[in-house]
A and B are shown apart, each in its own frame.
Chain A
């Protein structure tokens, strides 16, 4: 009976549960497709809250924020507007892995996101606790609230994050909570389990927040951002962010000794925490235990907002008792009389094995039910946001009767993320790395526009104007590449080459050939006088950089495109979820079992399952082509 339906919430297309980074992008993406969206959060005030580090982007994540922006998402723009320091990371490595990162003002960020969400005509925000999705005839049809109210919708996106049975650990203290000081959500895990979903438990941590007044700032090392900052969003006409310095300190052996002596009081080591923690963003306990040969670790003091009294101590994630945290910190130069506003803590939470999802982030068992963000076992704002965006977009597109949007591994880091999630098991919180993307040479922060604008536009995630803007940027890159086909004389080139100690040329040469040299760049030859660009700042530099990269990497790009084409062909071979693999003779027993269990959507996914050998793949492809032949004949 729908009698209990909450009044005022009729004709809802998509319900998004949760207002974190996944929930926000999900609600906005569904709304952009034209759907009526209801966002249900436990606390309206915390929409878009950055619960951990006060920064957006970073290695591989920066590229992802660019992708989110190209798909019309909110994260990049919000970071640009509220950023306090911008820096391009990985500059010591090749340009394909350069990643933008920004220090942001958490409060401003949250405010900006809050406004973006609440001011959207298609989004209604309501406070409440969802305990279960409503399933009817194998489809999601709404949600049930903790007070047993039911809200009906056509599709549901769950983005519950760390709030699922969240349990905070500080030393031996345990506090049930979602974030420090916020209630956790209960019931979702149980109701999803009863629907047949399998779940596990993960842990993550956050460092202490220091009292600004108690730090001796004058003796700390200063870190500043780039002078020419690169924005995340493609759509600015003006970009002139502040360059607020942050500060760094080093731990020392006295600090390490205190932590080492008390390591058993950390719940990770005492065995209190059962959840698996991430290897890459280890707690300070972990760092000291694992890198015993290092006698110092660098920590960065990041202000959480403008004039913040609260300093985020990047690199000191811990779940030691508060007293020990303080004692250890006070042994650091400059922290002699430091005090804590909030201690660092570890949090355990439930997640659902993401191999129960499709590329669209819809669950394999129930139609129109989508899961995104930390609930899928990922870690990080950016990872959550891109999933939210894809899940929300598909939840919306479904309501309109339109085809889904999916990202392939050669489209985007987001595609790598989703593919990894649904085809591999994640034994720890999943964080994006450049090393996860085998096509990283073509997944650059400077070409997210080229990779995704058309996809975004045809799925109604961006408007005509946004599409045109990105098209213009890519066209400008093409024009620049073409410009480099022209020859350059010795008198034009040699003074420039001489300046950088490069071998001079003896005869007219194509500019392209010069740029292929590792230490020569297009930038050196494009003076604004000779070439009028249509693109304006802040995008001139990156358009030049992108053209330069395309030329330098052209050989590699050609080879990668050839390789990815083959993979895309495999992904185009669809496997019906109704296939009974035990009936296919020739498949190994192991392959039959694994294929039956994971029900891959296409040949590409099937080939990635461990235990499915090349001969199984051959058998399978013969089976599919036979099937196709039969269905054509009948």
Chain B
């Protein structure tokens, strides 16, 4: 990805709006602004200014412009932010003017990438920006912002320096003669390793919560055909999104909706009922359901109390996911069919009468482990961060193994080095380009 050239993109969502923001970054940003606004004077840095933007001889729009001279800008380069009126024609017009004058349309996450590469933010902070934008809940936003402020970075830096210290200690032992190695050296190394391990584990202890609060959780309604999943779906969503019919197998593809339970963002998915089917379309839908069940954070297994059980469905779902809420639906029919309530895992609801819905919501939060959201939540929240920590934990486990297994000091050093590398890559120190590209590509254009 070339650096330093001038990039341009809209930074607000597509479509009509009151205003929209177009951003420019790179060496020619201010020059381009002067040209499209027919100005001779260089605008004062960091001062908002009412400015007309031209297309040929015509005024394209009347805008508010702020210039930032490097390095005092988000990207660390010269930057311009144009707040124009929010019509796509105006926005595209301004962008086209800039491109005609040599700017290039920015790639996904390129502004943030430049900020990272110019040392304005570290990798954790870069990810936090993406998270701040994507954050679906208040608590998730807090976690993203605490990452942005470097709180997480500091915790990780602390761990990195702990590992460095222990590694230096071990390295030193490699270079003293055999006679000088004391018995308590081994004890010290082992003690320190488990201390560090504990700290590292702390970083991911809230991972699921952070991830759920930032990106939302996937809750899948699954079960036999005609068990009332779609009725339940509608009850949870609060309107008739899913078509409900007495005919079994009505829902053949999945239907989803974003809902919020006590502030926790949830993508609720209604799936095709699972049964042995002869219809090709339906069985494709069933395959799809099974895939969704596998991916789900929580599966609501919906069963119709009024009909006889077929364990086939329950077994399949159990096989694919461990996080299951067992639901006996149609509790309003219990009396009619003479069903006897058993003492088991199942909770009783009636989707059609909307009874038991709030206890189900509680159960979902419980299952997601977000029943009580701590006020101050900090920890890793992206899969990349999680992977780095997991690698570090693996290396620490290997270290421990080498300590117990013949105390192979040079291998202990090697494992500690790997642990250190994992932690450092979390901060973007010596991170491979591939990882960087991956990460920044997950941004939308203009951030």
Give the interface of A toward B (CB within 8 A).
59-60, 89-94, 96-97, 280, 298, 433-435, 438, 440-441, 518-519, 556, 566, 585-586, 588, 613-615, 618-619, 622, 626
Contacts and interface: CB of A to CB of B under 8 A. Distances in A.
Interface string B162-188: 000000000111110111010000000
Nearest to A613: B119
13 contacts: A59-B177, A93-B410, A94-B408, A94-B410, A96-B410, A433-B174, A441-B410, A556-B414, A586-B4, A588-B119, A619-B4, A619-B117, A622-B2
Interface centre among A280, A614, A619, by most chain B C-beta atoms within 10 angstroms, is A614
Given A89-B177, A585-B27, A618 B409 contact: no
Contacts of B406: 518-519
Contact of B431 (A298, A441, A614): A614
A91 B409 contact: no
A435 B171 contact: yes
A559 to B, nearest CB: 8
Interface string B139-180: 000000000000000000000000000000001111101110
Contacts of A434: 174-175, 410
Contacts of A518: 405-406, 408
B116 A615 contact: yes
Interface string B1-38: 01110000000000000000000000100000000000
A556 B395 CA distance: 12
Interface of B: 2-4, 27, 116-119, 171-175, 177-179, 181, 405-406, 408-411, 413-414, 417, 428-433
A618 B171 CA distance: 31
Contact of B3 (A94, A440, A619): A619
Contacts of B431: 614
A434 B176 CA distance: 10
Nearest to B406: A518
B410 A92 contact: no
Contacts of A566: 432
Contact of A92 (B175, B181, B413, B432): B181
Given A59-B177, A92-B178, A435 B411 contact: no
A298 B179 CA distance: 10
Contacts of B117: 586, 614-615, 618-619
Given A280-B175, A614-B431, A622-B2, 8 more contacts: A93-B174, A93-B410, A97-B409, A434-B410, A435-B172, A518-B406, A518-B408, A615-B118
Contacts of B179: 298
Nearest to B4: A586
Nearest to B167: A435
A280 B313 CA distance: 70
Contacts of A586: 3-4, 117-118
Interface centre among B116, B119, B428, B432, by most chain A C-beta atoms within 10 angstroms, is B119
Interface centre among A435, A556, A618, by most chain B C-beta atoms within 10 angstroms, is A435
Contacts of A626: 2
A441 B181 contact: no
Interface centre among B175, B408, B409, B431, by most chain A C-beta atoms within 10 angstroms, is B175
Contacts, number: 77
Nearest to A280: B175
Contacts of B430: 614
A615 B173 CA distance: 35
Nearest to A589: B71
Contacts of A94: 408-411
Contacts of A619: 3-4, 117
A221 B306 CA distance: 92
Contact of B414 (A441, A613, A622): A441
A518 B404 CA distance: 11
A569 to B, nearest CB: 11
A615 B177 contact: no
Given A518-B406, A519-B406, A435 B119 contact: no
B178 A90 contact: yes
Contacts of B409: 93-94, 97
Contacts of B414: 441, 556
B156 to A, nearest CB: 16
A218 B274 CA distance: 91
A556 B411 contact: yes
Closest 4 CB pairs of A and B: A615-B117, A435-B171, A518-B406, A94-B410
A440 B116 CA distance: 34
B126 to A, nearest CB: 12
A585 B4 CA distance: 7
Nearest to B433: A618
B296 to A, nearest CB: 36
Nearest to A435: B171
Contacts of A618: 3, 117, 433
Contacts of B178: 89-93
Contacts of A622: 2-3
A618 B118 CA distance: 10
Contacts of A441: 410-411, 414
B175 A59 contact: yes
Nearest to B172: A435
B3 A97 contact: no
Contacts of A298: 179
A219 to B, nearest CB: 20
B112 to A, nearest CB: 13
A626 B16 CA distance: 40
Given A586-B4, A619-B3, A614 B428 contact: yes
B189 to A, nearest CB: 13
A54 B71 CA distance: 59
Contacts of A519: 406
Nearest to A431: B175
A619 B172 CA distance: 36
A435 B174 contact: yes
Contacts of A438: 417
Contacts of B27: 585
Interface centre among B177, B410, B429, by most chain A C-beta atoms within 10 angstroms, is B410
Contact of A97 (B4, B181, B410): B410
A89 B408 CA distance: 15
Nearest to B77: A586
Contacts of A440: 410
A86 to B, nearest CB: 16
A92 B410 CA distance: 11
A53 B411 CA distance: 31
Interface centre among B116, B174, B432, by most chain A C-beta atoms within 10 angstroms, is B174
Nearest to A622: B3
A434 B117 CA distance: 34
Nearest to B168: A435
Interface centre among A438, A586, A619, A626, by most chain B C-beta atoms within 10 angstroms, is A586
A569 B433 CA distance: 14
A441 B405 CA distance: 18
Contacts of A613: 119
A92 B176 CA distance: 11
A550 B3 CA distance: 44
A471 B4 CA distance: 51
Nearest to B118: A615
A545 to B, nearest CB: 15
A613 to B, nearest CB: 6
A435 B175 contact: yes
A132 B106 CA distance: 59
Contacts of B432: 566
Given A92-B181, A434-B175, A585-B4, A615 B411 contact: no
Contacts of A90: 174, 177-178
A91 B181 CA distance: 12
B420 to A, nearest CB: 11
A603 to B, nearest CB: 12
Nearest to B120: A615
A93 B27 CA distance: 56
